[in-house]
């Protein structure tokens, strides 16, 4: 909830309900004016940037034992692990005040990224086949988006078979344990789908998994969407000539949603029942903020999708 606004902010006011987003939308740059991208020139996501875009400064300080003040830096344009935070207006999306903030907080990344990848990036068609590599929150949000689009078959791939129970709730129709299938996953998927899936989504950030996701799609028309965060300096595990088979590959940030101009409409569609996204299914734990380390542990162990921390 907006507590106050700074000079020059005209589209937000105290009391507004907002969703913080890590890739902003200023509405004035050439990127924001283009219908081909959801990137923004000054406010695009940058994990190495730790200051505010407007003046390259910080808004938080901490006082050490000697009384000296030291800056507390910003993270991913949001810095939301705090009771109060400071955002650029470009990174705060005003939404319907009747929408439950606990659920809408999932639009800051998880659901918007996965559902948007299925809807906006891949434009999954009814009756199609889909493979999702990595069944964390983003992977299951992809499955949710594909389910809502009417995909006929959604194959989930993970190393943890315990995830299948939850995955079925989110639309996964088939499960492959990549550690126990006895052959390369892409061979299993090709056998299951008569040549490969129409769409694959890589949600792990692991190069070998990206390779499997790409070659699991059908030649001639298969599309792979990269959602995982990959380590530098590793490069893409593909040969250029493989693209001559008609398979395509593309990346996706924030589900290709333009945050400030498109998320409010999505919230309204969720409120009126037009978009039946299963928000509750993603909230697996609720804890006080003091248990934040436990929340990270559950996430790392694959036992949690999203944990709501209450201040």
Domains of the chain: 1-113+257-276 (3.90.180.10), 122-251 (3.40.50.720), 286-310 (no CATH)
Whether pLDDT at 100 is above 90: yes
- pTM passes above 0.85: yes
Residue 107: the pLDDT is: 97
Q: How far is CA 121 from CA 60, 146, 147, 199, 224, in A?
A: 36, 12, 15, 11, 10
% of the chain at pLDDT higher than 70: 100
CA proximity to 54, closest of 93, 4, 21, 88 = 88
Close Cβ partners of 274 (under 8 Å, ≥ 6 residues apart): none
pLDDT, averaged across the chain: 96
pLDDT band of 54, cuts 50, 70, 90: confident
Residue 164 is predicted with a pLDDT of 94
d(CA 134, CA 194): 22
Would you say residue 224 has pLDDT above 90?
Answer: yes
Per-residue pLDDT at 190 = 98
Residue 308 has pLDDT above 90, yes or no: yes
Is the pLDDT confidence value at 111 over 90?
yes
Look at phi and psi of residue 230 and say left if phi exceeds 0, alpha if psi is from -120 to 50, else beta: beta
Residue 53, pLDDT score: 86
The pLDDT of residue 47: 87
**Percent of the chain surpassing pLDDT 90:** 95
Helix or strand (DSSP H, E) at 137: helix 137-148
Q: What is the average pLDDT across 210-237?
A: 96
| pLDDT single digits (tens) 255-296 | 999 999 999 999 999 999 999 999 999 999 999 999 999 999
Cβ atoms of residues 242 and 266 within 8 Å: no
Average pLDDT over residues 247-261: 97
For 59-85, write each residue's pLDDT tens digit: 999 999 999 999 999 999 999 888 899
Instruction: Provide the β-strand partners of residue 176.
Output: 157
């Amino acid at each position: 909830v907006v507590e106050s606004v700074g000079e020059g902010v005209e589209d937000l006011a105290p009391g507004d309900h907002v969703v913080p987003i890590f890739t902003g939308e200023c509405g004035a740059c050439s990127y924001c004016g283009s219908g081909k991208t959801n990137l923004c020139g000054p406010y695009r996501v940058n994990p190495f940037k730790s200051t505010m875009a407007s003046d390259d400064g910080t808004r938080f300080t901490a006082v050490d034992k000697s009384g000296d003040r030291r800056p507390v830096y910003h993270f991913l344009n949001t810095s939301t692990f705090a009771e109060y935070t400071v955002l650029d207006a470009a990174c705060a999306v005003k939404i319907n005040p009747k929408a439950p903030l606990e659920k809408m907080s999932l639009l800051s990344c998880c659901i918007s990224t996965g559902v948007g990848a299925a809807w906006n990036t891949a434009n999954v068609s009814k009756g199609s086949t889909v493979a999702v590599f990595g069944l964390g929150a983003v992977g299951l949000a992809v499955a949710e988006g594909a389910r809502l689009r009417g995909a006929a078959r959604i194959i989930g791939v993970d190393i943890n078979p315990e995830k299948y129970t939850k995955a079925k709730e989110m639309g996964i129709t088939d499960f492959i344990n990549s550690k126990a299938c006895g052959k390369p996953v892409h061979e299993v998927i090709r056998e299951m789908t008569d040549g490969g899936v129409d769409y694959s989504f890589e949600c792990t950030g692991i190069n070998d998994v990206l390779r499997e996701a790409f070659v699991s799609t059908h030649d001639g028309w298969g599309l792979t969407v990269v959602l995982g965060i990959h380590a530098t300096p590793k490069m893409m595990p593909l040969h250029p000539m493989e693209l001559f088979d008609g398979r395509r590959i593309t990346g996706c940030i924030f589900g290709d949603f333009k945050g400030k101009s498109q998320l409010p409409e999505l919230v309204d569609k969720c409120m009126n029942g037009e978009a039946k996204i299963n928000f509750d299914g993603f909230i697996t734990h609720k804890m006080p903020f003091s248990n934040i380390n436990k929340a990270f542990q559950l996430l790392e162990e694959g036992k949690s999708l999203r944990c709501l921390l209450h201040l």
